[in-house]
């Protein structure tokens, strides 16, 4: 065998681009230019280079125009959806990025990238290179051999060698083409034998050993229908084998020395990243810039600690940061804490027995007066984490706080990340040490307890130093954008409220969920039997591939839509097919129960904290673009309310002790009331002023009947129209929602705007405001930036237009409930009540209330929620009490 010449990675450029395009949500620069595929592509390239460290690297792309396969089979790839316009627009820049990385780029007219890669791979293997083909196409598995492997782009880190190919597909690499010839490949429109899927194709290969032997097997194939299919589609199968076979003799010259991984052209990449506004990537490719640094001191003894505390006592403001053993502040242990009150100077106090740390209890007792001093401003990144960790250890952070993460979020809520590395780079133009430099990642990841104390000291001090420096910079930006009031009077006071809610947690009836789980299991078993009976075969219900074969091959149901890997079987498809066959409806029911069971019924008991006996979610202020709160670990926002089974899960949310109840307070149609307030539409305002059923009222207007004559179906349609308007829904969107013709949906929308004329004017004004300013605002001046609003791409622009309509309405509703939460939280403290706010879900607040405080709480909650901000229409809140959340809702 030829001596090893090094590792060569060959990238299927088109496969990379498609994966990047669909992996990242809509992303554009301020000019409205789509950038999601470019950003994703760069991220994938960086990850591959960082993790695999290839010595040689090249990439190949398809070129427009027919290939030799099109000449053999006119329908080759004819049914594949054309490349989306947004991706087409980004392809030239993606290739510019490749050139900026100094990665050799190959293209050949008349051949696909697969053929180019196959040719290079075979030549490289002959020269002794270990070749890794980076792709998502299974036809490339035919090349796998002693020197060639396939690196699966869809499943990062999955590398196909000969054994892996055999394990996954049941055949060795050299027989992959035989398998594809039988089963086809929908992504490339290789037909195969019509009616034969992967399972059957694998069985045939197992029984007869090769494609040719399958074709000549004749009566040895026991199934008459299978024999008939193979006979009928014999020529099609032979053609399929030709189409699936890659050409290893493309006339292309390769100088392998030119494929050596080279340093990127940083100047060129900076130019591209700057144009595309990739600030995070600019940081990585910045001209040699400064690392955030300073004089960072280790507090080693009691004298030094006393000196630190004396200095802290003199300060009006300081930044703090903890390093801990984990990400859950309620269960992790502190490793150390740093303080900074002067730019470039910080102090680290180690905690614990390792490395001469201070005892936790004694240290917190000494720090308590400082941290509980209401006159001092405490600064931090995600400071709620510090507040929770300190609360668990008996210290209540009091007084004003400044959270750099929340400040960054308010300045640009559409940004995906507000971590300290990113905002330090963006606002201070400095680099910060990533945590992975200390603890690693993946299987080799360690805890902070295992890191050398000098490294922890520098890292922790750098964090508090960065937060301290950022405070003034962010404060100025907030002031310039008129966001200071929202930040200091809403978002910062809300932190204390959220921390208290997270600390309190929610009591869960574990026994009830266990019983519910068993009932669901029985229902799933019953539905499974029904599914098998309707399908006329047993199969893995959770396998999209097997399900597609049953639906579209066996039952011959119409194909609704395709994905890159085959026929789609998503919810939308199953709902559409439910009208023509019983199986999709049964599958939808199965999926609904299965998802509820795994996501909530079975998982919630696992999340009960053993110390508190309660579930502690995290409320997130910096996730949604509209200002709404979200929750995670677990996500309580997504518990279904529209289905009976989803509602039953709420029955598991109970008081944590006897003599207590659950109280729920829900804003009534708050977003529609906000719309009435902003639009000044007299018809809409009058409906709310007279406490009419707004959906029945709208139904009477668009159907032209009296309110007393409105049928339930008419009201249901009007309800969908009412809320659809808030989300900027088009006639097409409404038609899908109501399952009616687009023309009929347009009639409903036109009738709505005819009766609520000022609403139409207001919504049009919002879109114009977004075009003019680049953003829209809420009732408290919260901003949502919409750079895509002027995009030349229709779908990108229309998405931004819908967001321009929805953000001020949904964002204002979020503003109102946040203020209400703060006010109620303050009343509970002032009156020293034992009631606790435990959940916030959309427009609803949930409390755990002692029996003797119920009447007071009803009044307090209703008053504070209804009078939070004066609107031009009445605000109504429904308050209910029950022994569980379902009963109170």
Enter the DSSP assignment of 83: P
The CATH class of 507-615 is mainly alpha
Q: Regarding beta strands 775-777 and 783-785, do their DSSP bridges make them parallel or antiparallel, or are they unpaired? A: antiparallel
pLDDT at 364 over 60: yes
Looking at residue 87, its pLDDT comes to 87
pLDDT at 81 over 80: no
Q: pLDDT tens-digit profile of 577-612?
A: 888 899 999 999 999 999 999 999 999 999 999 999
Average pLDDT over residues 269-289: 75
Q: pLDDT tens-digit profile of 86-115?
A: 888 899 999 999 999 999 999 988 888 899
CATH of domain 295-504: 3.30.420.10
pLDDT at 58 over 60: yes
What six digits make up the tokens of 68? 């030799």
pLDDT at 71 over 50: yes
CA distance 141 to 121: 12
Looking at residue 437, its pLDDT comes to 87
Cα–Cα distances in Å, from 352 out to 333, 337, 349?
Answer: 9, 11, 10
pLDDT at 538 over 80: yes
Q: Which of 84-93, 308-317, 683-692, 695-704 shows the lowest per-residue confidence on average (mean pLDDT)? A: 84-93
Looking at residue 231, its pLDDT comes to 84
DSSP 179-239: HHHHH-BGGGTB--STT--HHHHHHHHHHHSSHHHHHT-GGGS--HHHHHHHHHTHHHHHH
DSSP 348-411: EEEBSSGGGPBPHHHHHHHHHHHHT-TTSEEEESSHHHHHHHHHHTT----S-EEEHHHHHHHH
pLDDT at 392 over 50: yes
Residue 662's CB is within 10 A of a number of other CB atoms, namely 26
Looking at residue 286, its pLDDT comes to 57
Looking at residue 263, its pLDDT comes to 87
Q: Which of 124-128, 214-218, 743-747 shows the lowest per-residue confidence on average (mean pLDDT)? A: 214-218
CA 627 to mean position of chain CA atoms? 16
| Cα Rg, the chain, nearest whole Å | 31
Average pLDDT over residues 142-151: 93
What six digits make up the tokens of 790? 């002027």
Report the percentage of the chain scoring pLDDT > 90: 65
CA distance 288 to 282: 11
Looking at residue 157, its pLDDT comes to 64
Looking at residue 1, its pLDDT comes to 38
pLDDT at 80 over 60: no
What residue has token string 């429904």? Answer: 878
Q: Which of 287-291, 355-359, 627-631 shows the lowest per-residue confidence on average (mean pLDDT)? A: 287-291
Looking at residue 846, its pLDDT comes to 98
Average pLDDT over residues 493-510: 97
Q: pLDDT tens-digit profile of 470-481?
A: 999 999 999 999
Highest mean pLDDT among 81-95, 187-201, 426-440, 689-703: 689-703
Question: Cβ contacts of residue 85 below 8 Å, gap of 6+?
Answer: 793, 795
Sign of CA dihedral 587, 588, 589, 594: positive
CA distance 692 to 690: 5
CA distance 106 to 101: 14
Under 8 Å between Cβ of 322 and 334? yes
pLDDT at 34 over 80: yes
Burial class (CB in 10 A: 0-12, 13-18, 19+), 442: exposed
The CATH class of 6-167+246-259 is alpha beta
What residue has token string 């600390």? Answer: 503
Higher pLDDT, 20 or 794: 20
CA distance 429 to 436: 20
Q: pLDDT class for 747, splitting at 50, 70, 90?
A: very high
What six digits make up the tokens of 166? 């055999």
Question: Cβ contacts of residue 64 below 8 Å, gap of 6+?
Answer: none
- Residue 291's DSSP bridge partners are 431
Question: Cβ contacts of residue 540 below 8 Å, gap of 6+?
Answer: 546, 547
Q: Give φ, ψ of 436 to 5 degrees.
A: -65, -20
Enter the DSSP assignment of 157: T
3-state secondary structure of 295: strand
What residue has token string 């703060």? Answer: 822
What value, to the nearest 5°, has the Cα angle with vertex 740 and ends 734 and 745?
Answer: 45
Residue of 818, 223, 252 whose CA lies nearest to 485: 818
Burial class (CB in 10 A: 0-12, 13-18, 19+), 70: middle
Q: pLDDT class for 804, splitting at 50, 70, 90?
A: very high
Q: pLDDT tens-digit profile of 425-464?
A: 888 888 888 888 888 888 888 888 888 999 999 999 999 9
Under 8 Å between Cβ of 117 and 16? no
pLDDT at 279 over 70: yes
What six digits make up the tokens of 295? 């004089």
CA distance 706 to 693: 13
Enter the DSSP assignment of 264: -
Residue of 278, 418, 412, 474 whose CA lies nearest to 774: 412
| Helix ranges (DSSP H) in 792-853 | 794-830
Q: Where are the domains of the chain?
A: 6-167+246-259, 295-504, 507-615, 682-755
CA distance 650 to 888: 10
Q: pLDDT class for 354, splitting at 50, 70, 90?
A: low
pLDDT at 131 over 50: yes
Under 8 Å between Cβ of 845 and 824? yes
Sheet of strand 129-135: strand arrangement: 105-106, 56-60, 6-12, 129-135, 148-152, 159-160
What six digits make up the tokens of 619? 């409320």
User: Mean pLDDT in the chain?
Assistant: 90
- Residue 431's DSSP bridge partners are 291
Q: pLDDT class for 288, splitting at 50, 70, 90?
A: very low
Q: Which of 128-132, 349-353, 704-708, 854-858 shows the lowest per-residue confidence on average (mean pLDDT)? A: 349-353
CA distance 436 to 420: 14
Q: List for the chain the helix, strand, coil content (%; round to 5).
A: 55, 15, 30
Q: Which of 186-200, 307-321, 774-788 shows the lowest per-residue confidence on average (mean pLDDT)? A: 186-200
Residue 368's CB is within 10 A of a number of other CB atoms, namely 15
Q: Which of 101-105, 180-184, 690-694, 803-807 shows the lowest per-residue confidence on average (mean pLDDT)? A: 180-184
Cα–Cα distances in Å, from 340 out to 9, 79, 495, 643?
Answer: 46, 62, 21, 52
Residue of 272, 300, 251 whose CA lies nearest to 111: 251
Residue of 344, 404, 348 whose CA lies nearest to 379: 404
Sign of CA dihedral 521, 523, 526, 527: negative
pLDDT at 76 over 50: no
What residue has token string 């949930």? Answer: 846
Under 8 Å between Cβ of 181 and 46? no
Helices 670-679 and 757-773: crossing angle in degrees, nearest 10, is 80
Q: What is the pTM of this model?
A: 0.72
CA distance 393 to 381: 20
């Amino acid at each position: 065998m030829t001596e090893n010449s090094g590792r060569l990675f060959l990238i299927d450029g088109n496969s990379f681009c498609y994966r990047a395009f669909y992996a990242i949500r809509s992303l554009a620069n301020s000019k409205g230019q789509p950038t999601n595929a470019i950003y994703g592509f760069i991220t994938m390239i960086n990850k591959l280079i960082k993790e695999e460290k290839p010595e040689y690297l090249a990439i190949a792309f398809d070129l427009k125009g027919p290939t030799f396969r099109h000449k053999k089979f006119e329908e080759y790839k004819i049914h594949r959806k054309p490349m989306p316009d947004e991706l087409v627009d980004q392809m030239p820049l993606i290739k510019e990025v490749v050139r900026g990385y100094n990665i050799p780029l190959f293209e050949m007219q008349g051949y696909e990238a697969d053929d180019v890669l196959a040719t290079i791979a075979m030549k490289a293997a002959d020269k002794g290179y270990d070749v890794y083909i980076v792709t998502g196409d299974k036809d490339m598995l035919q090349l796998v051999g002693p020197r060639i492997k396939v690196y699966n782009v869809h499943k990062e880190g999955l590398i196909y060698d000969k054994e892996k190919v055999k394990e996954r597909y049941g055949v060795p690499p050299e027989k992959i083409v035989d398998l594809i010839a039988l089963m086809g490949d929908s992504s490339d429109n290789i037909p195969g034998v019509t009616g034969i899927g992967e399972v059957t194709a694998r069985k045939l290969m197992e029984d007869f050993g090769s494609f040719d032997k399958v074709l000549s097997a004749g009566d040895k194939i026991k199934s008459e229908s299978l024999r008939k299919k193979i006979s009928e589609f014999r020529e099609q199968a032979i053609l399929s084998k030709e189409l699936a076979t890659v050409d290893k003799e493309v006339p292309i010259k390769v100088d392998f020395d030119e494929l050596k991984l080279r340093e990127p052209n940083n100047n060129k990449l900076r130019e591209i990243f700057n144009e595309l506004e990739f600030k995070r990537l600019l940081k990585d490719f910045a001209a040699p810039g400064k690392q955030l640094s300073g004089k960072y001191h280790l507090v080693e003894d009691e004298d030094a600690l006393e000196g630190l505390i004396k200095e802290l006592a003199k300060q009006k403001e300081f930044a703090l940061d903890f390093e801990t053993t984990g990400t859950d502040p309620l269960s992790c242990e502190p490793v150390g804490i740093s303080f900074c009150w002067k730019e470039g100077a910080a102090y680290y106090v180690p905690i614990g027995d390792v490395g001469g740390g201070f005892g936790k209890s004694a240290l917190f007792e000494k720090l308590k007066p400082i941290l509980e001093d209401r006159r001092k401003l405490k600064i931090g990144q995600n400071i709620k984490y510090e507040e929770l960790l300190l609360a668990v250890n008996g210290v209540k952070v009091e007084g004003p706080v400044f959270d750099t993460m929340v400040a960054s979020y308010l300045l640009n809520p559409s940004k995906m990340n507000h971590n300290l590395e990113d905002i330090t780079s963006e606002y201070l133009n400095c680099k910060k040490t990533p945590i992975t430099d200390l603890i690693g990642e993946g299987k080799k990841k360690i805890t902070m307890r295992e890191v050398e104390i000098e490294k922890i000291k520098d890292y922790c001090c750098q964090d508090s130093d960065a937060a301290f420096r950022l405070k003034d910079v962010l404060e100025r930006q907030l002031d310039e954008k008129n966001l200071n009031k929202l930040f200091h009077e809403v978002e910062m006071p809300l932190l204390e409220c959220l921390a208290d809610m997270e600390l309190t947690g929610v009591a869960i009836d574990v026994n009830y969920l266990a019983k519910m789980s068993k009932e669901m299991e029985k229902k799933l078993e019953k539905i499974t039997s029904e599914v098998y009976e309707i399908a006329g075969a047993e199969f893995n219900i959770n396998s999209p591939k097997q399900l597609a074969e049953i639906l579209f091959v066996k039952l011959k149901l119409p194909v609704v839509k395709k994905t890159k890997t085959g026929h789609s079987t998503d919810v939308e498809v199953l709902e559409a097919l439910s009208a023509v066959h019983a199986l999709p409806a049964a599958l939808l029911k199965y999926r609904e129960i299965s998802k509820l069971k795994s996501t909530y019924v079975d998982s919630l008991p696992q999340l009960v904290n053993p110390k508190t006996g309660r579930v502690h979610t995290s409320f997130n202020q910096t996730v949604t673009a509209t200002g709404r709160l979200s929750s995670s670990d677990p996500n309580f926002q997504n518990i279904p309310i529209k289905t009976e089974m989803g509602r039953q899960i709420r029955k598991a949310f109970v008081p944590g002790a006897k003599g207590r109840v659950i109280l729920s307070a829900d804003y009534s149609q708050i977003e529609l009331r906000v719309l009435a307030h902003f639009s000044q539409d007299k018809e809409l305002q009058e409906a709310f002023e007279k406490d009419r059923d707004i959906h029945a009222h709208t139904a009477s207007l668009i159907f032209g009947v009296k309110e007393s004559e409105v049928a339930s179906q008419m009201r249901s349609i009007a309800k969908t129209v009412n809320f659809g308007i808030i989300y900027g829904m088009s006639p097409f969107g409404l038609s899908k929602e109501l399952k009616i013709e687009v023309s009929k949906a347009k009639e409903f929308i036109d009738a709505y705007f005819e009766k609520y004329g000022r609403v139409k004017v207001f919504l049009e004004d919002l879109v114009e405001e977004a075009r003019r300013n680049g953003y829209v605002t809420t009732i408290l001046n919260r901003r949502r930036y919409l750079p895509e609003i002027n995009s030349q791409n229709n779908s990108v622009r229309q998405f931004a237009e819908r967001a321009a309509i929805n953000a001020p309405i949904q964002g204002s509703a979020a503003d109102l409930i946040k203020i209400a939460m703060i006010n109620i939280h303050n009343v509970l403290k002032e009156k020293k009540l034992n009631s606790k706010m435990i959940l916030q879900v959309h427009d609803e607040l949930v409390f755990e209330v002692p029996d003797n405080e119920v009447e007071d709480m009803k009044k307090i909650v209703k008053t504070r929620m209804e009078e939070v901000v004066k609107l031009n229409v009445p605000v109504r809140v429904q308050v209910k009490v029950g022994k569980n959340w379902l009963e109170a809702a």
